[in-house]
A = this chain, B = another copy of it.
Amino acid sequence: MIEPNGHFCNDCVVRGAAVCSSLNATELREFEHLGRRVHFDSGETVFSEEDITTSFYNVLEGVMRLYKLLPDGRRQIVGFALPGDFLGMNISGRHNFSADAIGVVTVCQFAKAPFNRFIEDRPLLLKRINELAIRELSQARDHMVLLGRRSADEKVATFLLGWRERLVARKGLSDTVPLPMSRQDIADYLGLTIETVSRTFTKLERHGVIEIIHGGISLLDPARAEAMAAA
């Protein structure tokens, strides 16, 4: 669902953190016309793997799950996108993962061709996009280590601390960690089953490391969580 363009980049919640932080006031005014705000309801798919890429997306509000499916239905969540994240870049001309809204999401959508044309003579914007890609690549490698070499306990503890850490940048540090995604989402992100995630949460709670609360957890003993995560 597209809303009429009654928005301005200057008021944008992610201005400064996002891809557009590399633009000056003049450029921003031109850039403004390229993007339009689009809302998605909980569970809606923003784009699917193998779809031809027609747009890029800048997340403004909400959380998205980014995932790949195997032919038999097994799912691997390759990341969660938060406000400021930029989605849709690829070489093949097709998306290489799918993206769903977890809860209500607002994105700034850019048609591919005009966006690419805009980049053409803005090396600073390209540089910014490159930085974001390199940062993501580093995160992807960290996640490979988690998937390939960590135990279930370590995976869950690492996830909770990492998720909290990501929220710090946007909402400030807090021991209350909202988890908008389902247990199944967490399992598919960590390469575990839903039962193992649930059992591990319960175990962490029994040991006084976390308290399971509605819609998230409360981190009671960050030090012990760190110890579990580090191995």
Contact = CB atoms under 8 A, between A and B. Distances in A.
Interface of A: 68, 70-72, 74-76, 78, 89-92, 96-97, 121, 123, 126-127, 129-131, 133-138, 140-145, 147-150, 188, 190-191, 230-231
Nearest to A136: B137
A147 B68 contact: no
A149 B78 contact: no
Contacts of A129: 130
Contacts of A130: 126, 129-130, 133
B89 A230 contact: no
A130 to B, nearest CB: 4
Choose among A137, A145, A148 the residue with the greatest number of B CB atoms under 10 Å from its CB: A148
Contact of A138 (B76, B96, B143): B96
B134 A75 contact: no
Contacts of A138: 90-92, 96
Contacts of A121: 123
A28 B138 CA distance: 29
The 3 closest A-B pairs by CB, nearest first: A148-B191, A140-B140, A147-B147
Contacts of A134: 89-91, 133
A188 B68 CA distance: 22
A141 to B, nearest CB: 5
A193 to B, nearest CB: 11
Contact of A71 (B131, B188, B231): B231
Given A126-B126, A148-B190, A141 B71 contact: no
11 contacts: A68-B141, A70-B231, A76-B144, A90-B138, A91-B135, A121-B123, A129-B130, A130-B133, A137-B137, A140-B140, A144-B144
A128 B191 CA distance: 33
B97 A149 contact: no
B191 A141 contact: no
A68 B145 contact: yes
A137 B144 contact: no
A127 B120 CA distance: 9
